[in-house]
Each structure stands twice: as structure tokens, then as C-alpha cells.
Amino acid sequence: MTSFDALGLAEPLRLALGKAGYLQPTPIQRQAIPPAMAGRDLLGIAQTGTGKTAAFALPILDRLAREPAHRRKLSTRVLVLSPTRELASQIADSFRTLGAGLKLRIETVFGGVPIARQIRMTESGLDILVATPGRLLDLVDRGALLLDHVQILVLDEADQMLDLGFIHALRKLHGLLPRRRQSLFFSATMPPAIRELAGRFLHDPVEVAVAPAATTAERVAQRVIFVNQAEKQALLTLTLRDPVHARTLVFTRTKHGADRVVRHLEGAGIRAAAIHGNKSQPQRERALEAFRRGELQALIATDIAARGIDIDDVSHVINFELPNVPEQYVHRIGRTARAGRAGDALSFCAPDERAYLKDIEKLTRQTITAAPLPPDFVAQAARLPKPVHERPAARTGEQRPARPAPSGEARGGGVAARPRRFGTGRRRGGRGGPRASAA
């Protein structure tokens, strides 16, 4: 097995790797680091959890270590594009950890926080900027950032970028970048729309791939419980009362759904918080931190908010609702099988979600084992604290919008203000229209 030593990384990086406890490169790192260090463009098919951040961060840091240069005002040498603020923060943290010995200026910009500080930040120039596309364009439009001197571009989670409606922002950014640059492009899935986008950004790329989305599911023990929508809350509360569910990530399809679940769980004495696009950045960070520290038993998240967040030791993933895009299911359950560990995922499937379950099973080429409802479910559910009063219209109206609800990192301005879903090759029509997967 190749060791990090054999990759010939600069000394400060090897020290940082030792400190971070990375002993061996992961498969994506073994494949991606040598061609990236040789200056080639890269098309990487890999999910969060495979070590892909270090797969691009290490060769980039190696180049910055070997080619020190003065920072140019209003410029950055490395630009990393990320679909969400959480992922952007995490990527920046990885760069900081691995580049600890290099004295680099590494910053993030994303929507949902005041722009003034970000404008000041870019003034004296940066080495590495990790950004979401909408806010990045805002900065460029205000003249706070020039992209002419970007030497290395990373586009991370490209499929999620398209899902969030960032295609126009990406096309615009593409026109602003210098032609001579190295580009590293990562996506968990590679439908035709992503290939086309990759073709635009990459020049003669080396293609590297680990565990296609469908096969990462193999490490996770998966079960499904068939249950009516109206009974899901009781089932969740009872499930979480079992202490085995120590640190559980629960996915709902909508932001309001996530808040509702939190209210119910709190009412039943279960410590829980939600993260989604309506929460402020400090609120999200507080919730994540409390979950990481084990102060919350359950974190309730929408797909977009949860995408890419790196939380160790998630004991279980529960799909309160099944996603209509089957790849999303694989992303979700991947949260419980980080860095090679096995995981545990449980899905609640209402009668009208069976078609989604079928799609998921087709994609993963697995049949998900059906588990029974807990014994005495009806009697136990009846003894639970009374749920918060629900407006009858809320459920149907919210879960079956005519069009996907707005989502994304920025509201009230910029390109990301009205992100739309774009076809990534797997949208359903004919079943009452697409469902929202609002963050």
C-alpha cells in the first residue's frame, strides 16, 4: 500500500499529516494526489467521507509550499467552490489543518453573513479562498475580488451545485477565470449534465473514481419500516428512546418538517436541534457543535444543510422521509459510515413513498430489509406526549409543492437567491411533480 511518504509531499505537509493522524492515504488520495501534483487536471468521482478533501488539499498545499509567491491585492491563488456554507467551512478547516506549517491566508466566503467583512478580507489578497458561488459572484460584481490570478480551481460536489441551481453562477465564473490554470473537479455522481460541466472546466483531465455512489451503501446496515405519514413522529420518538441511538442524524424533506420534528422530540424530552437554510449561520454552528459534543441526541437536517458536514461517530441515520432523488439517499446514509466505519440507517416509508424506495433499491442494487413496527406500537404511541397542534393544510401543502421550494445558501440577493433545480438526469415527473428538498 502506498504510504504518504511515497507521494513525495513537502515536509510541512508530512508533519501535519502525522499530527492529524492520517497514516495511510485513502484510495481517492492514492489516485488523485500524484496526477494533481504533476499539474494535471482532475475529474474525481468520490463522495464526502472518502477523504476527497485531502485528495485535493494536499497537492494544492504542496504546490503552494514549493512555489511561494507574494499575495496580490484582491486576488487569490487557489479558489475552491463549494455548494454549501458548512462544506466550505469544513474544506477551509482541512486546508488549515494540513497547511498548518505554511503560513497561508485561507478564508471562506458564503452567503447568510454580512458581506462587509468578506470585502475587507479579500483586500490584501489570499492564498486560498473557499467560497459558495453566489456570494463569490457578489464579491466579484462589487469589485472586491479579481479572479485573473487564480492558479488552481477546485469545484467540489459539482452534482450538488447543479441541484442547488448554481449552473448560471458557475458558467459566469468560468468566463472570469484565467485559461491557464489547473482545475480539480469532484462530484459524487456523474450524470450527463455534470460531465458537460466538467468538459467546460477541465482540460484533458485524469479521471479518478472510488466507490461509485451506489456501492458506498454496502457498508451501511439498512432497514425500512413501512408506516403511515401521520405515525412517523411517534415512531421516531419511540425509536430515539432506545439508547442505542446515541447520536442520530434525522433527515426531513423540508425546513418546516425539520422544525416540527424538533418540537415533537423536545416535547418528549429528547434533546434535538435542526439545521437548515432558515437558520442563521451561528444557529447552525451552535447546533452542529452541540451535536458533535454529544449534547444533542438527534440533529434534524434537510439534505442541503447536511450535505458534506463531517461529524464523526454518527451512530444512526434516520430518513424521516425518503428523498425523491435516489442519490440523495446514498449521501444521507453515507453520514453514518465515515472514514471506513460501518453504519446504520433506518428509513420510514409511507405508502406514497414506495416508488422512491424502489428507485433507491434500483440505484444501490440492494433490497432494503423491511423491519416491523415496534411491538405495541399503537399503545406506546398513544402514551406519548400530545403532539404540537398541526394545521391540516400544512402537510399536504408543504410536501407536495407544485415546484421545488427555494433553497440555497443566500436569500434576498445575488445569483443564489433563487436557485432552481436543474436536470441532473434523474428527475421525476408524473408522480405529482417533484418534491421540495429545500434546505
What is the binding site for ligand AMP (CB under 6 A)? 22, 24-26, 29, 48-54, 310, 338-339
Query: From the CB of 426, what's the least distance to ligand AMP, in Å?
Result: 23
Looking at the Cβ atoms of 26 and 118, the one nearer to ligand AMP is 26
The answer to whether 347 and 357 have CB atoms below 8 angstroms apart is yes
Query: From the CB of 306, what's the least distance to ligand AMP, in Å?
Result: 13
The answer to whether 81 and 153 have CB atoms below 8 angstroms apart is yes
Q: How long a stretch of residues is the chain?
A: 439
Query: From the CB of 25, what's the least distance to ligand AMP, in Å?
Result: 5
Q: How far is CA 43 from CA 46, 152, 186, in A?
A: 10, 14, 6
Query: From the CB of 208, what's the least distance to ligand AMP, in Å?
Result: 14
CA distance 142 to 401: 35
Query: From the CB of 4, what's the least distance to ligand AMP, in Å?
Result: 8
Question: Quick one: three-class SS letters along 215-267?
Answer: HHHHHEEEEEEECCHHHHHHHHHHHHHCCCCCCEEEECCCHHHHHHHHHHHHH
CA distance 175 to 140: 12
CB atoms within 10 A of CB 219: 16
Looking at the Cβ atoms of 16 and 300, the one nearer to ligand AMP is 16
Looking at the Cβ atoms of 53 and 347, the one nearer to ligand AMP is 53
Query: From the CB of 129, what's the least distance to ligand AMP, in Å?
Result: 18
Q: How far is CA 100 from CA 12, 33, 61, 103, 311, in A?
A: 8, 19, 10, 7, 21
Looking at the Cβ atoms of 54 and 314, the one nearer to ligand AMP is 54
CB atoms within 10 A of CB 36: 26
Residue 151 grid cell? 492558479
Looking at the Cβ atoms of 2 and 367, the one nearer to ligand AMP is 2
Looking at the Cβ atoms of 24 and 367, the one nearer to ligand AMP is 24
- What 8-state DSSP symbol labels residue 115? S
Looking at the Cβ atoms of 48 and 118, the one nearer to ligand AMP is 48
Query: From the CB of 54, what's the least distance to ligand AMP, in Å?
Result: 4
Beta strands in 61-135 (DSSP E): 76-81, 106-109, 126-131
CA distance 132 to 118: 13
Query: From the CB of 304, what's the least distance to ligand AMP, in Å?
Result: 16
- Which helix (H) or strand (E) segment is 349 a member of? strand 343-349
Looking at the Cβ atoms of 112 and 334, the one nearer to ligand AMP is 334
CA distance 60 to 259: 40
Looking at the Cβ atoms of 98 and 197, the one nearer to ligand AMP is 98
Query: From the CB of 60, what's the least distance to ligand AMP, in Å?
Result: 13
Residue 69 grid cell? 509567491
